[in-house]
């Protein structure tokens, strides 16, 4: 009985050759202009090596708000508010070749741009 279960799990893990491979890039930055410039650079690199691109899809901007007392003693009711905005974009690369992956790893992106890569 356990051998049948093992065979089923192996079949699920095997990928069919006609399945589409995807790389999902989730790019985030504090400034939207720098983010858009780096996304453009990524898309130019991917299209140069004949891979299909889906996106960029703008994701909701994450806003972190902080309230700080201006003074700790007499003017305790006086406060300052600060916020940090994190802009995000989503890009899917369909059927990437090894050259595409190699050139994506060698990209020079500005500081402050974070990239999360997932293979789907």
* Alpha-carbon dihedral angle through residues 102, 116, 53, 39, given to the nearest 10 degrees: -90
Identify the domain containing residue 39 by its residue range.
28-119
Using one digit for the tens of pLDDT, what is the confidence trace for 51-67?
888 879 999 999 999 99
CATH number at residue 107: 3.30.70.600
- Please check whether residue 23 lies inside any domain of the structure: no
Q: Is residue 38 within a helix (H) or strand (E), and if so which, with residue range?
A: helix 32-48
- Please check whether residue 15 lies inside any domain of the structure: no
Using one digit for the tens of pLDDT, what is the confidence trace for 20-49?
688 899 999 999 899 999 999 989 888 888
Q: What is the pTM of this model?
A: 0.71
- Please check whether residue 3 lies inside any domain of the structure: no
Q: Domains in the chain: how many in total?
A: 1
Tokens representing 20? Answer: 């589409």
């Amino acid at each position: 009985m356990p051998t049948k279960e093992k065979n089923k799990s192996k079949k699920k893990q095997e990928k069919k050759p006609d399945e589409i491979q995807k790389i999902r890039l989730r790019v985030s930055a504090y400034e939207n202009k720098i983010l858009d410039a780096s996304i453009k650079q990524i898309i130019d690199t991917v299209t140069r090596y004949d891979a299909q691109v889906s996106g960029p899809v703008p994701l909701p901007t994450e806003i972190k708000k902080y309230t700080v007392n201006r003074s700790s003693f007499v003017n305790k009711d006086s406060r300052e508010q600060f916020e940090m905005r994190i802009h995000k974009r989503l890009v899917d690369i369909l059927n990437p070749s090894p050259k595409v992956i190699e050139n994506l790893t060698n990209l020079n992106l500005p500081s402050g741009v974070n990239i999360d890569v997932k293979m789907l």
